[in-house]
Amino acid sequence: MSLRRRCCIALGLLCFWAVLCTIQAQEASQGPHLFTNDTRTKDASQLTRTGARKTAVVSAVERVKAAVVNIHSERAAGSGPADAFAPPIPRKPMNGMGTGIIVDPRGYIVTNQHVVDDVTALRIRLGDGTSANAVVVARHPELDLAIIKIDTSAPLPVMPVGTASDLMVGETVIAVGNAYGYEHTVSVGVVSAIKRDVSLNDTMAYKSLIQTDASINPGNSGGPLVNINGELVGVNVAIRAGAQGIGFAIPVDHMIKSVADMLKARRRSTTYDGLATRDVLQPSSDGLVRKVTVDRVDASSPAQTAGLQSGDVILQVGDVKIASSIDVERGLLDRKPGDSVAFVIRRGDKEQNLKLALASGDRQVRPASASDIVWQRLGIQLSPVAGDSVKSINNQLNGGLEVTAINANAPAARAGIKKGDVLVGLHTWETVNVDNVNYVLNHPDLATFNPVPFFIVRGGQIRKGQLSVP
């Protein structure tokens, strides 16, 4: 090949290379080629779309879903005998479902009483997919609330608590629950009405409920109704059969008082503090803010010795930050007599640190006498029995009171109570000493649960009845 021909070929290749570079430069300036996978542009676009889709509802659900549990139950089918003292009738097992709300990291869960009524087994499925067996530890049948507990090896997330006192009709609310067995189902709606009185049948009636059109189905019972901030405002309880978009929830403020009372009753047999608290809702720029104050301090009690006074704002009990009276009970739960519990309070505009040494819950256990208020109002004398004598019947029982004498013309006898019965509970409170009975008889809300449900041990079985307290 001549030198001239080789030079022409080289010049041609150089020109073609220049053309290629020009084309690539133009394509780079004009954006991605039709067949180019520009992941950077796609990722940026995807981030923009995801950010726009993450609404307040999504954020609220993310905040609460880990504190919602799915409940699967087994119970005996059919109804019980009309006579509470008749022998039990054998029944076939059937499955049920419901939802629960975690209120304490140690595994305490709130649900509806009707979800756990007459169950023989409870299985809980947590938000992370793990399962555990549960036991019922307290009940409040009149409000249709109950507390169940699971054993857990690690602290569980707790539901953030708000208030229903400032709910607005038309406000967005979210229901989360085990609808028809579809776990962690989310539905969204609005508050349709507040303070609804609802009678579902002859035996089930509710007062001052929240009405919502957020879809609530069988299995949602006991689950949370939350606001757009991801705060609990109600406990889903019922639907109107045959209707669409008519569901009801118990206001969280009613739930808080009930659960605090049930937790206090659970520890009353073991520890005593002499402290009565009250939930207060304080207006702020962000709406109503919840706080807990000391309502009353018993004379010569551990609370008085610690220096607590009526009106103090409780900020912390042990390692529990206080947002409601439930938190106060959480801070004292599972403590033993003699334990010293740290309190942080605010008195006026100053914070103080106090130490409260818990006393024994059975400090005043004694047989009842004719002069006791129990004899005067109920017509029975009571004597404490050891916990071992009733634990064989139900291992959740901590003791009871044997009826040692009875007035045949008094309310207890008219209710069917007999000498030799062991009284183990009144309403939602266990009765391991006479002070427990007096507490119920002098309760400020007695009128709301009178006739008082009572539970006795007779013939190796727990029987239930109703006692009209004069």
- Bridge partners of residue 316, in order along the sequence: 321, 344
| Rounded Cα distance, 27 and 29, in Å | 5
Q: CA separation (Å) from 245 to 187, 191, 448?
A: 11, 11, 30
269 annotated active-site: no
Structure tokens belonging to residue 303: 């609370």
Catalytic residue among 104, 140, 144, 372: 144
Question: Are 465 and 456 within 8 A, CB to CB?
Answer: yes
Nearest to 135 by CA among 97, 99, 159, 107: 107
| Rounded Cα distance, 380 and 401, in Å | 11
| Rounded Cα distance, 314 and 344, in Å | 6
- What is the DSSP secondary-structure string of 185-217? EEEEEEEEEEEEEEE-SSS-EEEEEEEE-S---
Structure tokens belonging to residue 214: 């957020």
Q: Which residues contact 6 (CB under 8 A, 6 or more apart)?
A: none
Phi/psi of residue 411, nearest 5 degrees:
-60, -40
Catalytic residue among 187, 192, 221, 324: 221
Q: Where are the alpha helices (DSSP H) in 236-286?
A: 252-268
Question: Are 426 and 400 within 8 A, CB to CB?
Answer: no
Q: Which residues contact 419 (CB under 8 A, 6 or more apart)?
A: 403, 404, 405, 406
Catalytic residue among 114, 184, 427, 443: 114
Question: First and final CA of the chain: distance in angstroms?
Answer: 127
192 annotated active-site: no
221 annotated active-site: yes
- Bridge partners of residue 463, in order along the sequence: 456
Catalytic residues: 114, 144, 221
